[in-house]
């Protein structure tokens, strides 16, 4: 059943202006916004995907990827159809944009929490498509889940300040995909201005929410040394040098099947650039077995979280999220949800 949305303004002649993302779509009566899941019905804006989970899966938190939040825990991951971007390299395109009818299993917020408990999940992840477009569903689920389960977003960051305020009270962590520069967003994501993404990231970072950043490196599109330095410098200056950053390998899909996978040397170049420019925690994504899967202390260089793929094998952490070797306080959160068996002591 459609639910009236949380952030919109009524205009003249029964039109409405949506306020959930920076597009701020003006929607005439009977029409939908860019995301195709918010519809104007008689001058009111409704979410068509509330409680309609098109995907519901148990994942390790590391798969999001979130490496600095509750390592070793599991999250019930949910999504609806719809997205506010049109990425031509999307790997979830069948549910984000290449669909014709609203679909999904009836899974209201209370049922999501029940499923998380049933599968012994420590938390709930709002992911796969863009959770901003199903904000009301996510918000109500987060309210019911907290404080017994954590809540995390995997997002493109294309959200308004109003949306950040709506989700912030119950959001524990978020991974934002900072995809590239202005030209990249225009050509490949149908985003006319990327500044709102940066502003949303800064707004999130100012709150008590762990923020990690992912950058999918696509050969010939956003992989130049200059571009990587630009993104790294912005992260360091605006989010902090202890912000975890993931450089991920591109896999050809959707409308970019003609591209080749990202060479490993390109990813390692990005990692070296980030570290040389002062970032503490830099990871290589979609390359199982790479040394950078694990977390090392920026002070003493000792291993603090040993990972193999999406599995945490060992924690060298003291209570209080400190390095188990030198005692340095680390930018790792979610201590209450880390399985006790993983702690060194």
DSSP 118-169: HTT-SEEEE-SS-GGGGHHHHHHHHHHHTTTSEEEEEE-----HHHHHHHGG
Residue found by looking up tokens 């159809």 in the block: 81
- List, for the chain, all residue ranges whose pLDDT scores fall below the cut of 70: 343-345
Give the pLDDT confidence score for residue 343 in this predicted structure: 65
Phi, psi of 19 (to 5 degrees): -120, 15
Which of the listed CATH numbers 3.90.230.10, 3.55.40.20, 3.20.20.70, 3.30.70.580 matches domain 52-292?
A: 3.20.20.70
Give the pLDDT confidence score for residue 281 in this predicted structure: 98
DSSP state of 171: -
Question: Considering the entire predicted model, what is its pTM?
Answer: 0.97
DSSP 242-297: TS-EEEEE----TT-TTSPPPPHHHHHHHHHHHHHTT-S-EEEES-TT-GGGSEE-
Phi, psi of 149 (to 5 degrees): -130, 150
Per-residue pLDDT tens digits for 233-246: 999 999 999 999 99
CB 142 within 8 A of CB 168: no
Q: How far apart are CA 26 and CA 33, in angstroms?
A: 7
**Hey, where are the domains in the chain?**
3-47, 52-292
Per-residue pLDDT tens digits for 176-214: 999 999 999 999 999 999 999 999 999 999 999 999 999
3-state secondary structure 203-246: HHHCCCCEEEEEEEECCCCCCCHHHHHHHHHHHHHHCCCCCCEE
Q: How far apart are CA 81 and CA 99, in angstroms?
A: 8
Closest CA to 139 of 103, 163, 105: 163
Dihedral through CA 122, CA 126, CA 132, CA 136, nearest 10? -70
* Residue 291, CA distances (Å) to 123, 232, 308, 322 in order: 27, 20, 9, 21
How is residue 237 written in tokens? 């200056």
Give the pLDDT confidence score for residue 13 in this predicted structure: 96
Give the pLDDT confidence score for residue 339 in this predicted structure: 84
Identify whether 147 is preceded by a cis peptide bond (ω within 30 of 0): yes
Tell the burial category of 116 from Cβ atoms under 10 Å away from its Cβ (0-12, 13-18, 19+): buried
Question: What b-and-e string marks burial along 56-93, b requiring 16 or more CB atoms within 10 Å of the CB?
Answer: beebbbbbbbbbbbbbbbbbbbbbbbbbbbebebbebb
């Amino acid at each position: 059943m459609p639910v009236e949305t949380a952030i919109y303004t009524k205009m003249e002649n029964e039109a409405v202006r949506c306020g959930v993302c920076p597009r701020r779509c003006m929607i005439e009566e009977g029409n939908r916004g860019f995301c195709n899941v918010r519809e104007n019905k008689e001058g009111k804006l409704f979410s068509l995907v509330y409680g309609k989970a098109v995907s519901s899966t148990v994942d390790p938190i590391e798969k999001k990827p979130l490496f600095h939040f509750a390592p070793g825990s599991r999250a019930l991951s949910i999504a609806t159809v719809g997205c506010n971007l049109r990425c031509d390299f999307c790997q979830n395109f069948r549910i984000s944009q290449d669909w014709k009818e609203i679909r999904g299993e009836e899974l209201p917020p209370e049922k999501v929490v029940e499923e998380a408990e049933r599968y012994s999940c420590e938390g709930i992840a709002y992911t796969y498509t863009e959770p901003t477009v199903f904000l009301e569903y996510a918000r109500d689920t987060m309210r019911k889940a907290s404080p017994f389960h954590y809540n995390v977003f995997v997002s493109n960051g294309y959200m308004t300040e109003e949306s950040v305020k709506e989700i912030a009270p119950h959001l524990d962590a978020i991974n934002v995909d900072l995809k590239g520069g202005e030209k990249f967003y225009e050509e490949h994501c149908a985003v006319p201005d990327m500044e709102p993404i940066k502003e949303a990231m800064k707004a999130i970072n100012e709150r008590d929410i762990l923020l990690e950043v992912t950058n999918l490196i696509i050969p010939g599109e956003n992989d130049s040394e200059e571009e990587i330095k630009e993104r790294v410098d912005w992260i360091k200056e605006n989010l902090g040098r202890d912000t975890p950053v993931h450089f991920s390998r591109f896999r050809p899909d959707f409308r970019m099947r003609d591209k080749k996978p990202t060479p490993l040397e390109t990813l390692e170049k990005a990692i070296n650039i980030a570290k040389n420019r002062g970032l503490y925690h830099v990871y290589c994504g979609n390359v199982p077995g790479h040394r950078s899967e694990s977390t090392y202390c920026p002070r003493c260089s000792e291993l603090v979280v040993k990972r193999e793929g999406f599995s945490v094998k060992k924690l060298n952490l003291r209570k209080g999220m400190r390095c188990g070797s030198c005692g340095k306080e680390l930018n790792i959160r979610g201590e209450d949800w880390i399985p006790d068996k993983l702690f060194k002591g």
